[in-house]
Structure 1
Amino acid sequence: MSHKWVTASDGVRLLVRVTGVDDAPTVVLVHGYPDNGSMWDGVAALLEQRFRVVVYDVRGAGRSDKPSGRASYKLDQLSEDLAAVVDEVQPVGKVHLLAHDWGSIQTWHSVTGDRLRGRLASFTSISGPSLDHAGAWFRAQARPNPKRIKNALVQWAHSTYILGFQLPLVPQLLWRTGAMGALIGRMDPAAAAPSTSDGLHGLNLYRANVFTRLSRPKPRNAEIPVQVLAPTGDKFVTTPLQTEIERWAPDLRVRRIVGTHWVVREKPHVIAKAAAELIDHVEGGEESRALKQARQGGFAHKLVLITGAGSGIGRATALAFADKGADLVITDINGSAAADTAKLLRDKGATVGEYTVDSSDAEAVEKFAQQVKEEFGVPDIVVNNAGIGLSGPFLDTTVKDWERLIDVNLWGVIHGCRVFAEQMRERAEGGQIVNVASAAAYLPSKILSAYATTKSAVLTLSICLRAELAAENIGVTAICPGIVNTNITSTTRFVGVDDVEQKRRQKSSSKLYAKRGFGPERVARDILRAVEKDKAIQPSTPEAKAALVLSRLTPGLLRAAAKLDVTP
């Protein structure tokens, strides 16, 4: 590590630290308030393994000079400071920028200005909008649109501390008594104990810039690739304020990161990885799937993993996601069936990975999950669809029947949820888990005691897991189809009968379901809509929807209907 002093245009000295690979792309890290350059230690330690990393204490913070008076902290001067650092550490060529909070605010001023035009390669912004963009954004929210008005009010509620920083003496007193540091720690445990000196001098950032810029915004465009990492739990800067900037950042990528305002300290590996992906791409590397998603939105380039995709609902769902531009990973216990689905997907131009996996085998699922992560990355959407049918009286259902049914219908879902939810949590960019249950989960029948038990368990698991994973921005949806024309009828076992009767009932059931005429592609459409809206429970087919309502309004009626013999 090398240290050097850089003198700004007004004579203020800035302490700069340079680490990493000398001949690699240079990335400059700019911290916010009330931090100093040490805030980047975790991120810098990861980035310096591949890049040349520059960190400096902004004026008023750390070991850099601390001029008095708010005039020394205007954005134009802060932009000159960044330019002085860039000129010193990289006299020729371009640098990449990574900034947080007030560091991001001042970096936006540089990115959209003329002083460093042609010297910047990319910008990753965290929890700090351009004040000019913010001023224009607030004005746009005032138009008669309930959603916009709500967004503005929520952001103002998050920004009340800014008004307090304008008061004379009070914020200084809070800093000197330690009350301000304690308050920040309670609001965001990821924040480090701030320096009183940094807190006091940094007040000038707010007093010199905020109301001037917000009241008379002059938004300018960014001409370089921009990536916004918006923490979902930021108590100071809301996601809409950070991300609704397409008009000023034409080459924009937005990624919602699960974390708090100080996610830089909380999850340095997530920040370093996201920043490195943009740097690598701008330097000529392939654009990562995450960057493509962040740029295009919707289902485009989402990685969707579907079990039991060799036929029926699984295959139809894979084809529906492919039509929306998603990349697919599909599994089935029948390798040839999975291969057939993969061919159909590739014919649509989709990127596909196919695997033969027994979803009931915990060890096999764990190995498969690791393989998917290494070859494709972490799935954005997981559809646990693999399942089998079983019908007949409880007393004719053997322990072996129960074990096989529970292994596939329940343990298969548990295994999928367990391994992929953990991957999603570690990635910290949210996701969606879809568990295919059945209307039998809430529509009892005396001939479906075993099957309905497993599907009821899947429904309850989904509801509980949804509550648990909400803080990780991972949605969980239970899909509950009714009578759907798939090949499950030809493979369902009917207990307590001989082979001849078994085949007769399978054939009769298949005819009944075919006559019903509700195909798996319609369930697939319901699945996509449920993912888009993050629904907790999505019944599919009219009878499934009606039964869900009746289960809540007139459960006694359904209990009476359960006594009917509907054996085909």
Structure 2
Amino acid sequence: MTSARTPLAEPSRYIATPDAVKIAVYEDGPADAPVIVLVHGYPDNHTVWDGLVKELAGDFRVVRYDVRGAGHSQHPQRLRDYRLDRLASDLHQVAATVSPDKPVHVVGHDWGSIQAWEAVTDVGADRRIASFTTTSGPSLDHTGKWMRHTAFRPSPRNLSDAIGQALHSWYIGYFHTPVVAKLSWRLMAPRLSAIIGQVPSETLTADAMTGLKLYRANMIPRFARPRSRFTAVPVHQIVPTDDKFVRPQLAQAAEPWTPLLWRTTLKAPHWAPHTHAGELAEHVREFVGSLEADETPSAPAVIQPLRRRPRLDRKLAFITGAGSGIGQATALAMAREGARVIAADINVADAEHTVRMLRHHGGDAWAYPVDVTDPEATTALADAVMDLHGVPDLVVNNAGVAHAGGFFDTPLERWHQVMDVNFWGIVHGSRAFGSAMAERGSGHIVNVASAAAYSPVRILSAYSTSKSAALMASECLRVELASSKVGVTAICPGFVATNISHAATFSGEGSSQEEKRQHTSRLFAIKGYGPEKIAGAIIRSALRNRAVVPVTFDGKLARFGSRYTPGIVRLVGRLDPSG
């Protein structure tokens, strides 16, 4: 059977991805307007957004693209070319190309939403993506975590929701069948217009068969080993209540991982971008417009109620490096536990962004600039904080920098910089608040060190030395303050995916700084250990008054090795892990 097909327009331009895949990009609207990037699902291409473009292009610069394997974009043949990290990299590349100087707003549907979730949960995504509107496409990792939670802590409602979603997801298993799935698409693709009320595009059959790789490359790995994927990007879930494939109950899977979360229901089927373009566009316009105006979106916020008394109810927490990474995750975690938060960062704009996140959900938070390497500035800030807010109950000295290089390759100025931030920053922060806490007779200081503190590595001489000094300073301070009822903890993480790897510097010969930085970021990210887990360890350690707390498997293994098999640790340290 044959039917009329809609020809695809020529793209505005092609953009090459980091792995050399050509992406067809379509652009509409004023060049100087806020940018909205639309990411389509399966088995669609950019034309599914035609209705939304008509509604939004008068006020926004609307960018669409055919995802790899669809429309006029290149169709890679290898299965691994359709993994989520590649798809997320495509989105980042498109965003950086069409709007190099300002973050973009992302709207995703179906598989476009799934890959956008991957992008917004990448480390530092909130610097590139201003907001994310998602419809009919959850994070696979969030879904995997939700399914595991349901299995291990079942309740009648949870089981009903999980079983209902599994029944509506029957097609996922079918799409994994060899030969049969492709053959059925040859028969089904021409009839798809009867399902979604849209004339199929000329590339639909090829897109549908190629796009099966999306399921085969991602579903089993992500559900078998779901990762902890946290995002600081404001997220708006638009939930079609008549969706036959993604049930509305699945929206709750995002709640533990998305502190800035709003949800709106829409009485619409799965292909809402086509069938309800006007209503969907209005929701997007209101959400994006509010954020552009620096206002709280009017859509209802999704707030996770605590089922117990908050562990840090009204406690005052002071956190350095709170604009990103572990510091930001700690601020969010402490606010969820009821703490009032002082967010300090050398980049006050980043600290203010963290504070806006906290205040959107009703938390008390304030942002201050601080250069932890400056003792006078740190003391002045501490005095101002204590005058205005009182003596903190918790001080988290988290600010840090990373540098890789051999002992002799590392210039002296880098040695001084790393020591100034990673060691002297902890000394300055502890001195600025410690005396007042001791005089009061309560409180806790948490110093973020590293597993590198007890793991000699040939390319981390300055970094390991600074963290070792921070660890010993914490141990000495703990002994000194014990009689004053002030606890001190040294947190020692191993590999953690944070902005510190993106901002790291390198000495020595070999690849460029950017190539080394990308290699390091990939190495850290592959561990799947996000900053929110370190934040949880910081809270638990403070409440339990722990002394030295290794975090992550490699951090704990290094701690064990340094105490019981130091020779082996030194042998491992001789290896060059830089690539």
Q: TM-score, normalised by structure 2?
A: 0.49
Q: TM-score, normalised by structure 1?
A: 0.50
The structure with the larger Rg is 1
